[in-house]
Structure 1
Amino acid sequence: MRGVDVLIAPDSFGTALTAREAAERIAAGWRRAAPDDDVALCPLSDGGPGFVETLHASLGGALVAATVTGPLGAPTPAAFLLVGSTAYVESAHALGLSLVPADRRDPTVTTSRGVGELVVAAIAAGATRVVVGLGGSATNDAGAGALVGLGLDAPRLARGGGALSGVAVDDLGGLRDLRDRLGSVELLAATDVDVPLLGLQGASAGFASQKGATPEQAQDLERAVATFAHAAVEALGDALRPDLLAGQAAAGRRLLAAPGAGAAGGLGFGLALLGARLVPGATLVADAVDLDGRLAASDVVVTGEGRFDWQSLHGKVTTAVAARALAHAVPAVVLAGEVLVGRRELSAAGITAAYAVAEGADQVAEALADAGGSLERRAQRVARTWSR
């Protein structure tokens, strides 16, 4: 009897499993329950951890090693992918949360400087187009540190988000020249979420707590980032493309509110100051691996991530997969460590069903202790429902 054609297309499960490891574990569990099914693996990324690995597997190219400034200021090994004249940079290599010990996580002091240094290294290697994957950051400095790494003479900006509170226009006198110097390079920021820089779902209010900030620090960061952002926009002046109807001021507001400006602690905004185009990372990767073609040959797709919550509905891999699966009339099934989204939101996102590895708060620690085994066992149970 012919089995089901199953496509396994997850993101990474936080720091517990890479996308490749998660795909392999899900596939192993599925095959145990349904050995006649044809199971294909397609690990994905939304711009966060695994961005370079996923694209390297699909596009080939050369991995180029570099040493850059880590989020706490120490030298950190990193790499970028060079495919022809295009370089793919994974910001998590330079500012990833996994690079900071749990007891030292403090987004008021962590810096994105290393990302700028990685971009400089990519340009020096011959890249004329640089795609920076954003996500999984330990920082909340609106990309200010990255500007220093790219050559802006303003050391204060590389001291973390907390140091931005007193930044003035005079501190950013070289910003316009830096933008001009990078004018010959096409910059893309592949964002893992579509949130703005400021506000209740912005970088500080929405994500700083995950990086170690207290509620009070998150509020301080919101104010500090806003101060820096407004000063940067003013420093650029008419270098920003004006809004023909609303004027120059509207151009700055548009930059702050752009979907993805708040990604990676506001790094999306920092790169946009230099003319980078913000694009959904999950879409960019899906196109690179021909996800549509693979969905067209599948009966069901299984995607997943560590925690499926409100953030997942803002540009993450799971919802991107579901949207494309819907276009191909393929059921989309989500496996996640935790599922914190209701049925109505799942349905609106085009997700057919979602299953949690940890079905209660008391099971989370147990699941994390054996992340791969727990996911594999859950996939085995799910396969019994979805296989013939």
Structure 2
Amino acid sequence: MRVLVAPDTFGSVLTAREVAATVAAGWRLAAPGDDVTECPLADGGPGFVDTLHAALGGETVPVTVTGPLGAPAPAVLLVVDGPTGRTAYVESAHAVGLPLVPVEHRDPTRTSSRGVGDLLVAARDLGARRVVVGLGGSATNDAGAGMLVAAGLDVLPGLLDQGGGPLGAVTAADLTGLRALRARWRDVELVVAVDVDVPLLGLTGASAGFAAQKGATPEQAQDLERALGAFAHAATTALADDLRPDLLAGARPTSAASRLTGAPGAGAAGGLGFGLALLGARVVPGASFVADHVGLDARLAASDVVVTGEGRLDWQSLHGKVAAEVAERALRHGIPTVVVAGEVQVGRRELSAAGITAAYAVGETPDEVRAALADPVTTLRARAERVARTWSR
């Protein structure tokens, strides 16, 4: 049997490469005669640069950026030279990742995305004419306001880089420098690879859908929703005619704001998708972007079953994450998709609608979850071994 192991990371516990190796080892224990191939993936979040480096080659360049709370943070850029020039791949999680903020200090009303702007500037200084930014796994919820400051926005000191909380007081008059900033970045092609396809605002947006996991209380999440809405209105008003018109929406003053805030991926990484779109970036699904660059379709075509996985399979997983992307592509090739995850929090109906054939949790009870966190390699390998006994023929 030809088995393709194509997982994402298990949060900050195991990298995608470690997950793939562990699942493959467990499968081989149960079915030593099977042909097992490893293909680590990413969706724009943690592991984005590492996965692309393995697939594309290139040179990694270490840099130091501003972390979510203002402290220096180490990051890496991947630089790849091609026939059309130099491309830099950067990972927002290096600059604003949730692990950079201790649990007791997590507060998305205060954390800033300034470090992502540092990454953009570093990439441009290295001569990149195309910059691909992977978004996901952030500790921030400021709609990219801090990123804009570090990218060169002329604005009053402290106005935009103090987190999402104060953004409700920002006006269009404060953001008159956005036009000049957008013009300065016009010679760099910006591509944003997002880990989720959610909008900036609303029930599944940056604040309502994700602020809680970054440390926000329900009241803070509501405040952030209002603040990001006000900031988005101010920013799109300041840019005005610089934004591409929405021909379907007509000439309504709110059409540009609605298009940018409601775009799939605008809410990724605390709204960084929206902030980068203000600079003229093109937003694309991260899982699809990576899958194309690692040649996933050709690997699926040569397989009988694909095993994917992530730390927690939940509603977010069905909105642009790796598992959903793998399942969609596997359906085209007529092979089943099996998910092995740390936890499984979606039901059979949702799994079936996403094209996932079966899903197995490493930890099904609180005790098992604690055991998995304490020894992730052993527990994941054991679960993969049991899954192989079911699926290998």
Q: Of the candidates 208, 213, 226, which is equivalent to residue 210 of structure 1?
A: 213
1:23 match = 20
Q: Is the 8 A contact 1:105 1:212 kept in 2?
A: yes
2:147 match = 146
After superposition, residues 1-388 of structure 1 pair within 5 angstroms as 4-84=1-81, 85-154=86-155, 155=157, 156-245=159-248, 246-247=250-251, 249-388=254-393
Letter aligned with residue 53 of structure 1: D
The alpha carbon displacement at 1:359 in A equals 1.1
Partner-residue secondary structure (3-state), 2:116:
helix
C-alpha separation in 2, matches of 1:372 and 1:263: 29
Please report the TM-score for the alignment, with normalisation by the length of structure 2.
0.97
The alpha carbon displacement at 1:365 in A equals 1.6
C-alpha separation in 1, matches of 2:166 and 2:126: 32
Letter aligned with residue 277 of structure 1: R
Q: Is the 8 A contact 1:193 1:260 kept in 2?
A: yes
Structure 2 residues without counterparts, runs of 5 or longer: none
Number of residue-to-residue matches in the alignment: 385
Q: Is the 8 A contact 1:29 1:380 kept in 2?
A: yes
The alpha carbon displacement at 1:21 in A equals 0.7
C-alpha separation in 2, matches of 1:249 and 1:350: 37
Question: Alpha-carbon deviations, 1:26-49, whole Å to 9, x = none?
Answer: 011111111111111000000000
Letter aligned with residue 303 of structure 1: T
The alpha carbon displacement at 1:227 in A equals 0.9
The alpha carbon displacement at 1:153 in A equals 2.4
Q: Is the 8 A contact 1:179 1:274 kept in 2?
A: yes
The alpha carbon displacement at 1:240 in A equals 0.4
The alpha carbon displacement at 1:361 in A equals 3.3
**Structure 1 runs of 4+ with >2 Å offset:** 360-363
C-alpha separation in 2, matches of 1:193 and 1:36: 37
C-alpha separation in 2, matches of 1:340 and 1:243: 38
The alpha carbon displacement at 1:371 in A equals 1.3
Identity %: 71
C-alpha separation in 1, matches of 2:98 and 2:247: 40
C-alpha separation in 2, matches of 1:334 and 1:373: 18
The alpha carbon displacement at 1:367 in A equals 1.5
The alpha carbon displacement at 1:103 in A equals 1.0
Q: Is the 8 A contact 1:240 1:252 kept in 2?
A: no
Please report the TM-score for the alignment, with normalisation by the length of structure 1.
0.98
Partner-residue secondary structure (3-state), 2:338:
strand
The alpha carbon displacement at 1:105 in A equals 0.8
Letter aligned with residue 100 of structure 1: V
CA RMSD of aligned residues (A): 0.8
Question: Alpha-carbon deviations, 1:164-223, whole Å to 9, x = none?
Answer: 121111111111100011111111110000000000000000000000111111111111
The alpha carbon displacement at 1:370 in A equals 1.1
Instruction: Name whichever of 34-43 and 358-367 sits farther off.
Output: 358-367
Partner-residue secondary structure (3-state), 1:165:
helix
C-alpha separation in 2, matches of 1:212 and 1:153: 30
Partner-residue secondary structure (3-state), 1:80:
strand
Q: Is the 8 A contact 1:7 1:300 kept in 2?
A: yes
C-alpha separation in 1, matches of 2:246 and 2:208: 28
C-alpha separation in 1, matches of 2:254 and 2:220: 29
Letter aligned with residue 93 of structure 1: H
Question: Alpha-carbon deviations, 1:133-166, whole Å to 9, x = none?
Answer: 0000000000001001101123321110112121
The alpha carbon displacement at 1:251 in A equals 2.0
